[in-house]
Amino acid sequence: MITTPKGMRLHIGIFGRRNVGKSSLLNALTRQNVSIVSEIAGTTTDPVEKPMEMLPLGPVLFIDTAGIDDFGSLGEKRNKRTRKVFDRVDVAIIVSEPTGWNTFEEELLFEFSERRIPVIVVINKTDLVQPDASLLQRLKDKKITIVETVASDKIGILDLREALIRTAPDDFINAPSILGNIIKAGELIVLVIPIDKEAPKGRLILPEAQTIRDILDHDAFCIVVKEHQLKASLDSLKIKPALVVTDSQAFRQVADDTPNDVPLTSFSILFARYKGDFKELIEGTYAIGNLKSGDNVLIAESCSHHPITDDIGREKIPRWLNETVGGKLNFTIVQGHDYPENLKDYQLVIQCGSCMFNRREVLSRMMQCKRAGVPVTNYGLAIAYFIGILDRALAPFPEIQ
């Protein structure tokens, strides 16, 4: 399970002030020396990630962060990186010393409460002094889970593991399905996967592999074809497919070659539904029609890759947008976890399928856009809009009919 994609792992963030034992806690949880431990405050500078398997939760990703009380110009930059982690954690662990709970911890608690992120408070170093009774009662009154530990001696770690299992969000344990309520057992799905210069060597991209697995989980079956093989493949079938799913870049050809009575959508649109607020992304797609020359558009990609000629995010989508608007738009492109704070400067945000992000981070970004009053869509929805087949691409989804 070490190769389970990050986007499918439960993200558990470890937060607190410098030198409270965050790194010792991570090392104890993972039973490995993942983070450097030192008596010198501020040893952890950038977020440290450690994937592991934690039964019965399955694949998780621990994120150790820099001390939230760091100061100075470098400290401010570290704090900024730590706060970016807020956007992607499913569970937050706040680590404090027995008598060290103060405004920093209260601010963390408030921030996670506002984001509706479940919290576990770890009172560490309880071998030195007992926790303040009034603090414990105050946290219990707020229904906050509390665990007492001595991380350096691995005391209380089993209690913390059990607390993590109890605190994990229901939507992780009962995760949504990529093709849920669209297909049934025994049905045939046709997957159209172009093998072009953008395709990774020797493997399928993540949305394709995950979709195949989801089809099997539904006791359905699939055939996989290239775009130029689709028409002949459909003609040779003895049964009508329940669904055709294509890479968005082949949408036009696949739409032409797929009979109108066969449902059609794309991997990217499936992931818009799987990762984000589907209805809000659809509404954001129609905002493309409100763009005018000179407007600013943010294109956000979840992974870092080396751009190639006619890259989807840097060339194709900007070109299609300019053609749709009939003028020149201004584009900003960001990758990975980088995301601008000045979202009000943009008239539209277009994100990729976000296969490398967990659902929490996608929804967090969408909430930031909503607060800024900026519509947001994704690659697949936008491409379907450009070529005039958005209604057809959305037809397979019963919840929006």
Q: Report the pLDDT averaged over residues 191-204.
A: 79
pLDDT bin (cut points 50, 70, 90) of residue 56 is confident
Percent of the chain residues past pLDDT 90, beyond the cut: 64
pLDDT bin (cut points 50, 70, 90) of residue 145 is very high
Candidates 202, 197, 204, 192; CA nearest to 228 is 192
What are the chain's domains? 6-173 (3.40.50.300), 285-386 (3.40.50.11410)
Q: Report the pLDDT averaged over residues 237-251.
A: 96
What pLDDT, on a 0 to 100 scale, did the predictor assign at position 78?
Answer: 81
Q: Report the pLDDT averaged over residues 282-303.
A: 94
d(CA 58, CA 386): 40
Query: 39-48, 180-189, 225-234, 240-249: which range is least confident on average?
Result: 39-48
- pTM of the shown model: 0.76
Helices and strands (H, E) in the chain, number of each type: 15, 14
What pLDDT, on a 0 to 100 scale, did the predictor assign at position 1?
Answer: 39
The residues, ordered by sequence, that sit 6+ positions from 289 with a Cβ below 8 Å of its Cβ are none
Whether 264 shows a pLDDT value over 60: the answer reads yes
Task: Output DSSP code: residue 9.
Answer: S
Whether 374 shows a pLDDT value over 80: the answer reads yes
d(CA 395, CA 342): 35
d(CA 66, CA 44): 5
pLDDT tens track for 76-88: 888 888 998 998 9
d(CA 363, CA 369): 10
Q: pLDDT averaged over the chain?
A: 89
pLDDT tens track for 57-77: 788 999 999 888 877 777 788
Whether 3 shows a pLDDT value over 80: the answer reads no
Q: Report the pLDDT averaged over residues 325-337.
A: 92
Q: What is the DSSP string of 29-92?
A: HHTS--S---SSTT---S-EEEEEEETTTEEEEEEE---TT--HHHHHHHHHHHHHHGGG-SEE
The residues, ordered by sequence, that sit 6+ positions from 19 with a Cβ below 8 Å of its Cβ are 39, 40, 41, 42, 67
